[in-house]
């Protein structure tokens, strides 16, 4: 009985078959072979080759009008039909210099890595150039503070009576300092920026 039951088990694709059926795989293989032969015949006859004469940009614009030549979505278009949620950040705009005032530590490190890649020279030279780039950007975003009429370093009056050359006012980074205070002022600003970048995870 058990043997009879096994022999009467039908193939799901062919109910009349009482043993494992091989017709379906053979049919599929023949169809694939015919398809390949048909494609080869068309290529040999030259059919479908007239499309190559069309400019690629024109065909791309007709098929994907919302994408650019690199396949990215153009401005004002998105692949999400429901749209982005309000407040969603665009990961392609990370470390954008136009938004440097709102950068997070990760974006500062990304800017340092990008500057390191684009700089010229050996590794130490590129690292120094990238660090100087970040340091200069931090100084621009964090200008020094000074009270009107006073030196930004020593906080003494700029207009000194009977002044000598060392007391001459000198403008630097948007503020005035005495000529004798310039070296100390630049030194302090350098270490302020260096410590700030160190807290952001950027080392010289």
* Domain range annotation of the chain: 93-199
Report the pLDDT averaged over residues 161-190.
90
62 vs 136 pLDDT, higher one: 136
89 falls in which pLDDT band (50, 70, 90)?
Answer: low
91 vs 75 pLDDT, higher one: 75
Q: Supply the DSSP symbol for 172.
A: E
pLDDT digit string, tens, across residues 144-167 = 999 999 999 999 998 888 777 888
The SS3 assignment for 67 reads strand
The residue to which tokens 């088990």 are assigned = 9
Share of the chain above pLDDT 70, in %: 62
Which pairs from 101-109 meet CB under 8 Å and 24+ separation?
Answer: 101/141, 105/200, 105/201, 108/134, 108/197, 108/200, 108/201, 108/202, 109/200, 109/201, 109/202
pLDDT at residue number 12: 52
Report the pLDDT averaged over residues 176-186.
93
pTM, whole model, 2 decimals? Answer: 0.53
pLDDT at 68 over 50: yes
Report the pLDDT averaged over residues 120-137.
94
- Structure-block tokens of residue 32: 């694939």
Closest alpha carbon to 139 in 96, 91, 174: 174
> What gap in Å lies between CA 15 and CA 9, rounded to an integer?
9
């Amino acid at each position: 009985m058990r043997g009879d039951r096994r022999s009467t088990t039908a193939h799901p694709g062919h109910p009349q078959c009482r043993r494992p059926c091989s017709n379906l795989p053979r049919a599929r293989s023949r169809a694939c072979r015919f398809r390949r032969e048909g494609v080869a015949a068309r290529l040999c006859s030259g059919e479908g080759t007239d499309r190559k004469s069309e400019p690629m940009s024109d065909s791309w614009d007709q098929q994907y009008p919302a994408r650019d030549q690199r396949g990215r979505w153009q401005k004002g278009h998105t692949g999400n039909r429901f749209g982005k949620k309000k407040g969603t950040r665009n990961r392609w705009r990370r470390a954008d210099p136009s938004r440097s005032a709102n950068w997070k530590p990760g974006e500062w490190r990304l800017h340092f890595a990008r500057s390191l890649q684009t700089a010229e020279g050996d590794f130490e030279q590129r690292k120094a150039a990238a660090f100087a780039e970040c340091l200069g950007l931090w100084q621009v975003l964090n200008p020094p503070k000074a009270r009107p009429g006073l030196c930004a370093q020593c906080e003494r009056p700029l207009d000194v009576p009977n002044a000598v050359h060392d007391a001459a006012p000198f403008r630097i980074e948007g503020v005035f300092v005495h000529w004798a205070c310039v070296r100390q002022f630049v030194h302090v600003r350098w270490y302020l920026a260096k410590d700030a970048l160190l807290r952001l995870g950027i080392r010289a």
